[in-house]
Amino acid sequence: MSASLHATASQFDDVCARSDRCGDHWERIGCRQFARKLRPRRPRRVVPKSRVHHAEKRHASPDCADLAKSLHDDLAQLLSFALIQIDTAQGAPATGDVRNAALRHVRQLVKDALHTTRGVIAGLLDAAPAAPPAPALAAQCLRIAEAIGRQSRRPIHIDCAPLPAEPPPAVAQVLLRAVRELLANACKHAPGARVALTLRAVDGGIVFTVADDGPGFDPSALHRPVRGHCGLRELPAALHRIGADFTLETGPGLGVRARIGWPRAEAR
């Protein structure tokens, strides 16, 4: 077993030398940490501050070549050495020092590989560009209404005032989906009718109104399942989950007026 350990330590010396030359931060963390465990008397190399700064700068914006080099020279090497130790353990007697020592080294190698992987992930997350801010809710409503107007070849009257405060992104997503569904239904089922969308800030909340002066419908039809149709029927439950109110005023010959309020009046 001592010969096997000496060979492994020598291999790690080569890996550490490559890591020092390329100056990657997480390579030094993984490979050199394990090399010190194998050879505790190994002299510690002092890395100039300029090299450390350069490595940190590279990690702030790693490219594909740097990432591939890190994965090959560090993570892949650690896993390769772990396989060597597993083979050693499998070929050793079930109850012996050689097998136990090999398994201990496998565990340490896997820990180092996990540590290195987390370093790579952290570097990638740090380098990822920040997501651009979402457009204002009023602007998104305008885009939706214009798109549906073009698709249906129907004019939609839009009156969306800017809001003093935007809702959370998850809430805005559900609200916009509801607006899209209501406008699409109005354009499909109220031919020739006037369709209007309004958005207002009211009492610290947001109120949408989608209305048309078309033929209307029996509201009880919403409770009758229709195969392949779920959009409008699912809206009340979806809006309820984000804390919004939904009211629908309609009837045969009465047109349709849908109102969405977020948050609910009692929560404002």
Quick one: pLDDT at residue 6?
A: 39
Check which CATH number belongs to the domain holding 204 and give it.
Answer: 3.30.565.10
Quick check: is 88 in a domain? yes
Quick check: is 90 in a domain? yes
Please tell me whether residues 9 and 110 are part of one structural domain: yes
Task: Classify residue 77 by burial, with Cβ atoms within 10 Å: 0-12, 13-18, 19+.
Answer: buried
Quick one: pLDDT at residue 79?
A: 86
Task: Tell me the CA distances in angstroms from 255 to 196, 214, 217, 246, 247, one per residue in order.
Answer: 12, 5, 8, 17, 14
Q: What is the pLDDT of residues 155-202, one digit of tens each?
A: 999 999 999 999 999 999 999 999 999 999 999 988 889 999 999 999
Q: How many domains does the chain have?
A: 2
Domain final residue, candidates 81, 99, 127: 127
Provide the residue range defining the domain that includes 226: 137-267
Domain final residue, candidates 74, 104, 127: 127
Q: What is the pLDDT of residues 20-70, one digit of tens each?
A: 443 344 344 444 443 343 343 444 444 444 444 444 444 444 467 777 777
Instruction: Express as a percent the part of the chain with pLDDT over 90.
Output: 38
Quick check: is 69 in a domain? yes
Length of the chain counted residue by residue: 268
Please tell me whether residues 45 and 97 are part of one structural domain: yes
Quick check: is 101 in a domain? yes
Please tell me whether residues 108 and 143 are part of one structural domain: no
Please tell me whether residues 103 and 160 are part of one structural domain: no
Task: Classify residue 48 by burial, with Cβ atoms within 10 Å: 0-12, 13-18, 19+.
Answer: exposed
pLDDT tier for residue 230 given thresholds of 50, 70 and 90: low
Domain final residue, candidates 66, 101, 127: 127
Q: Find out whether 157 and 213 touch, Cβ atoms under 8 Å.
A: no
The pTM of the full predicted model, rounded to 2 decimals, is 0.54
How far is 245 from 3, CA to CA, in rounded Å? 74
Please tell me whether residues 103 and 174 are part of one structural domain: no
Please tell me whether residues 21 and 113 are part of one structural domain: yes
Please tell me whether residues 231 and 262 are part of one structural domain: yes
Quick check: is 132 in a domain? no
Quick check: is 229 in a domain? yes
